Structure 1
Amino acid sequence: MLTHDTAAGWSKARRPLDPARRSEWGAVAAKEASAAGPWGRAEILDASQVGSWDAAPQIDQQQASAWSRVAGRDIGTGGRWDTVAQKDLARRLGWDRSITPQDVRLRLLYSPRPALKDTLSGQAWYRCDEFGERFDAAAERAASLYIPVAGLVEFSFSGQRYVPSTTASVFFDFHYTAQQHAIQPVDSGLSVRFTPARILEQMRTMPWGWGTPTDPKPTGIVYPDYPGPVVVIDPPQEPDILETYMIANTVTLVVLPSGTPLDATNIRANLDIDSFAWSFSAELFGRTSLNLVVPDANGPKTVELTINGWVWRFLVERYSGSGKHPSERYSISGSSRTQLLDAPYAPQRSGLNAAMVSARNIIDDQLQNTGFSASWDTVGMGPPDWTLPAGAFSYQSQTPMQIIHRLAEVAGAVVRPEMAADGFTVLPRYREATWYWGGAVPDCIIPTEIVAEWGSEWSPQPQWNFVYVSGANYGVGVQVRRAGTAGDEPAADVIDDWITTVDVARSRGICELSKGGNQAIETRRIPLFEKGGSAPGLVLPAMLTECRDDDTTWRGLCLGTEISADGVGASRVWQTLKIERHYGSGN
Structure 2
Amino acid sequence: MLATEIGAGWSRARPVSARDAGMPWGTLQPAEVSPSLDWGKGHALDASMLAGWDGLAGLDVHLRARWTRALSVDRCAASPFDVVPVKDLFLTPGWDRSIQRRDLHIQIRYNPMPARADSSTAPRFQRSDEHGPRFDAELERDRSLYVPGSPLAFTFSGQRYTPSNAPVVFFDFRYAPAPRVIQPVDSGAVVNFRPARRLNLPMALLWGRARPLDPVPTGIEYPDYEGPITIIVPPPAEPDILETYMIANSVSLVVLPGRAPLAASSIRVERDIDSFAWTLQAQLVGRTSLNLVRPDAAGPKEVELAINGHTWSFIIERYTGTGKLADERYTVTGVSLTQLLAKPYAPARSQTNTAPVNAEQAAVFELEYTDFTVNWDTWVAGPPDWTMPPGAFSYSELTPMEVIAKLAETAGGVVRPALNARELTVLPRYREPVWQWSSAIMDKIIPAAMVTDWGSEWQPQPEWNSCYVSGTNHGIGIMVRRAGTAGDNPTPDVYDDWMTGEQAGRARGIAELCKGGNQEIVTLNLPLFPSTTAPGLVEPAMLCEVRDIDETWRGLCLATSIDAQGVGAARVTQTLRLERHHREGA
Task: Please report the TM-score for the alignment, with normalisation by the length of structure 2.
Answer: 0.64
1:294 aligns with 2:294: yes
Partner of 1:572: 571
SS in 1 for 2:498: coil
Alignment check: 8 A CA contact 2:564 2:573 kept: yes
- Counterparts in 2 of 1:578 and 1:354: CA distance versus 1, 3 Å: same
Gaps of at least 5 residues in structure 1 are 1-189, 191-197
| Displacement after TM superposition at 1:475 (Å) | 1.1
Residue identity opposite 2:360 in structure 1: R
Gaps of at least 5 residues in structure 2 are 1-184, 186-192
Partner of 2:397: 397
Instruction: Supply the RMSD in Å over aligned alpha carbons.
Output: 2.3
| Displacement after TM superposition at 1:531 (Å) | 2.3
Alignment check: 8 A CA contact 2:215 2:234 kept: no
Query: For residues 199 and 245 of structure 1, what CA distance do their matches in structure 2 show?
Result: 72
- Counterparts in 2 of 1:234 and 1:518: CA distance versus 1, 3 Å: same
Query: For residues 247 and 367 of structure 1, what CA distance do their matches in structure 2 show?
Result: 40
Query: For residues 489 and 212 of structure 1, what CA distance do their matches in structure 2 show?
Result: 26
Cα deviation digits, residues 465-521 of structure 1 (max 9, x gap): 000011111111111000111111100111112010101100100100011111000
1:467 aligns with 2:503: no
Query: For residues 205 and 366 of structure 2, what CA distance do their matches in structure 1 show?
Result: 34
- Counterparts in 2 of 1:240 and 1:199: CA distance versus 1, 3 Å: farther
Partner of 1:244: 244
SS in 1 for 2:383: coil
Cα deviation digits, residues 423-477 of structure 1 (max 9, x gap): 1000100000000000001001000001011010001111100000111111111
Fraction of identical pairs, as percent = 58
Cα deviation digits, residues 337-396 of structure 1 (max 9, x gap): 000000000000000001111111111110011100001101111111111000111100
Alignment check: 8 A CA contact 2:522 2:580 kept: yes
Partner of 1:349: 349
Partner of 2:580: 581
Alignment check: 8 A CA contact 2:410 2:496 kept: yes
Query: For residues 421 and 570 of structure 2, what CA distance do their matches in structure 1 show?
Result: 26
Give 1:400-479 correspondences, 5 Å limit.
400-479=400-479
Partner of 1:553: 552
| Displacement after TM superposition at 1:538 (Å) | 0.3
Residue identity opposite 2:541 in structure 1: A
Residue identity opposite 2:529 in structure 1: F
SS in 1 for 2:381: coil
Cα deviation digits, residues 544-576 of structure 1 (max 9, x gap): 000000000000000110011013542001110
Question: How many residue pairs align between the two structures?
Answer: 388
Give 1:301-312 correspondences, 5 Å limit.
301-312=301-312
Alignment check: 8 A CA contact 2:451 2:524 kept: yes
Residue identity opposite 1:434 in structure 2: V
| Displacement after TM superposition at 1:265 (Å) | 1.9
| Displacement after TM superposition at 1:412 (Å) | 0.2
1:377 aligns with 2:377: yes
Partner of 1:255: 255
Query: For residues 420 and 215 of structure 2, what CA distance do their matches in structure 1 show?
Result: 32
Alignment check: 8 A CA contact 1:348 1:399 kept: yes
SS in 2 for 1:406: helix
Query: For residues 219 and 481 of structure 1, what CA distance do their matches in structure 2 show?
Result: 34
- Counterparts in 2 of 1:200 and 1:334: CA distance versus 1, 3 Å: farther
Give 1:35-434 correspondences, 5 Å limit.
208-218=207-217, 228-434=228-434
Alignment check: 8 A CA contact 1:213 1:439 kept: no
Query: For residues 529 and 566 of structure 1, what CA distance do their matches in structure 2 show?
Result: 16
SS in 1 for 2:420: coil
SS in 2 for 1:362: helix
Alignment check: 8 A CA contact 1:281 1:332 kept: yes
Cα deviation digits, residues 273-312 of structure 1 (max 9, x gap): 0000000010000000000000011100000000111100
For the pair shown, the structure with the greater C-alpha radius of gyration is 2
SS in 2 for 1:235: coil
| Displacement after TM superposition at 1:207 (Å) | 6.0
| Displacement after TM superposition at 1:230 (Å) | 0.5
Query: For residues 230 and 498 of structure 2, what CA distance do their matches in structure 1 show?
Result: 29
Task: Please report the TM-score for the alignment, with normalisation by the length of structure 1.
Answer: 0.64
Residue identity opposite 2:582 in structure 1: Y
Alignment check: 8 A CA contact 1:215 1:439 kept: no
Query: For residues 327 and 195 of structure 2, what CA distance do their matches in structure 1 show?
Result: 81
Alignment check: 8 A CA contact 1:312 1:420 kept: yes
SS in 1 for 2:544: strand
SS in 2 for 1:483: coil
Query: For residues 357 and 539 of structure 2, what CA distance do their matches in structure 1 show?
Result: 32
- Counterparts in 2 of 1:207 and 1:344: CA distance versus 1, 3 Å: farther
Query: For residues 545 and 214 of structure 2, what CA distance do their matches in structure 1 show?
Result: 16
Query: For residues 418 and 280 of structure 2, what CA distance do their matches in structure 1 show?
Result: 14
SS in 1 for 2:240: coil
